[in-house]
Amino acid sequence: MESRTPVASVLEPWLRLENKVVMVTGASSGLGREFCLDLAKAGCRVIAAARRLDRLQSLCEEINNMIGSSSSSNEPGKDQAIAVAVELDVSASGSSIEACVQKAWDAFGRIDALINNAGIRGLAATEVTEADRGERCVSGRGTAQRASGGRVHTSLDLLEKEWNDTIGTNLTGTWLVSKYVCMRMCDTKQGGSIVNISSLAGLERPLPPGTLAYACSKVAINTLTKVMALELGAYNIRVNAISPGIFKSEITEGLFQKNWLKKIEQKTIPLRTFGTSDPALTSLIRYLIHNSSDHVTGNIFIVDAGNTLPGVPIFSSL
């Protein structure tokens, strides 16, 4: 984003987002971390939220040092934090989430945009107990489909707690964080922009086997996006979703280590590259926060380099 020419910054006014306050969930790694860094560079104040507070704090330190050292002494940023960390578990109860949202709101006195990015694809191996393994074996029918980290299982092997965790984090969490942020946006009559990070698994294009809970959560996020856009338009709150293709992060770590992935990229991806989340996703997020997108709401933006167009699903289990 920084390498854009001055002409681009005139033609694309959303490259600068001075003093917008943006809350990003799932900011401790992967895409969320990238979004925070990019938004801070664009001039935003950033509220970085997730469970791993140590990671958030080091991210905020990096941002505050970066912005502080690049601003002149009379600009905001020299003596004021640009980024703050807020510990947030989006799978917690509504009342806990509300308290975290209040803390986030109070950090800068408002929130102009919320990026609902926190998400999981299944249980981490360390979260699966012996009893869970037994439950999978008892089913014995749905052979586990190994994906990025071997965490994906067919509908017959899926554990109930895996389903609940995935739906609770990806879907209920997105709704509850949005609910409490939007309530405050409505009360203050300031409007705002909500961006939900969905997935190709949420589209009616490829339906990857072995991702039942994840795909259901992302399909539902797309519906949530449209219904909330419909209901909140009257309050000048816009709600959109982004369905990213495949980008490097903790979730896709294992996938990017597969040798065949390079071949798929070169032979089947229409643009011949998966691209990188910055600028592929960050430029769209900047646009959706900026007033240039004032009339854009209820959309699902696919950013996948054409990945899903050929109609051949790129299974992570290949």
Among 17, 32, 83, 213, binds ligand NAP (CB under 6 A): 32
User: Considering the complex, what minimum distance in angstroms separates the CB of residue 62 from ligand NAP?
Assistant: 15
Q: How many CB atoms lie within 10 A of CB 13?
A: 13
Segment near ligand NAP (CB under 6 A), from 16-24, 103-111, 112-120, 229-237?
A: 112-120
Select 33 or 41, whichever has its Cβ closest to ligand NAP.
33
Place of tokens 């280590």: 257
Nearest one of 252, 243, 251 to 219, comparing CA atoms: 243
Select 186 or 261, whichever has its Cβ closest to ligand NAP.
261
Which residues is 240 bridged to in the sheet? 195
Considering only residues 1 to 30 of the shown chain, the ones binding ligand NAP according to CB under 6 A are 25-30
Reduced to 3 states (helix: H, G, I; strand: E, B; else coil), residue 76 is: coil
Length of the chain in residues, anyone? 318
Decide: 121 and 145 in contact? Cβ < 8 Å: no
Nearest one of 41, 18, 20 to 111, comparing CA atoms: 20
User: Considering the complex, what minimum distance in angstroms separates the CB of residue 275 from ligand NAP?
Assistant: 10
Q: Is the dihedral of CA 169, 171, 172, 178 positive or negative?
A: positive
Select 89 or 132, whichever has its Cβ closest to ligand NAP.
89
Decide: 224 and 197 in contact? Cβ < 8 Å: no
Decide: 114 and 177 in contact? Cβ < 8 Å: yes
Q: Should residue 119 be labelled a site residue for ligand NAP when binding is judged by CB under 6 A? A: yes
Select 252 or 297, whichever has its Cβ closest to ligand NAP.
252
Among 17, 31, 97, 269, binds ligand NAP (CB under 6 A): 31
Among 42, 50, 111, 159, binds ligand NAP (CB under 6 A): 50
What CA–CA distance (Å, rounded) separates 184 from 100? 13
Q: Should residue 197 be labelled a site residue for ligand NAP when binding is judged by CB under 6 A? A: yes
User: Considering the complex, what minimum distance in angstroms separates the CB of residue 313 from ligand NAP?
Assistant: 14
Segment near ligand NAP (CB under 6 A), from 70-78, 155-163, 180-188, 249-257?
A: 249-257
User: Considering the complex, what minimum distance in angstroms separates the CB of residue 90 from ligand NAP?
Assistant: 4
Cis before 279? omega within 30: yes
Q: Should residue 89 be labelled a site residue for ligand NAP when binding is judged by CB under 6 A? A: yes
Q: Should residue 258 be labelled a site residue for ligand NAP when binding is judged by CB under 6 A? A: no
What CA–CA distance (Å, rounded) separates 82 from 229? 29
Select 44 or 56, whichever has its Cβ closest to ligand NAP.
56
Helix (H) or strand (E) run with residue 85 in it:
strand 83-87
Q: Should residue 127 be labelled a site residue for ligand NAP when binding is judged by CB under 6 A? A: no
Reduced to 3 states (helix: H, G, I; strand: E, B; else coil), residue 302 is: strand
Q: How many residues bind ligand NAP (CB under 6 A)?
A: 29
Select 1 or 261, whichever has its Cβ closest to ligand NAP.
261
What CA–CA distance (Å, rounded) separates 178 from 115? 9
Q: Which residues bind ligand NAP (CB under 6 A)?
A: 25-32, 50-52, 88-91, 117-120, 169, 197, 199, 244, 246-247, 249-252
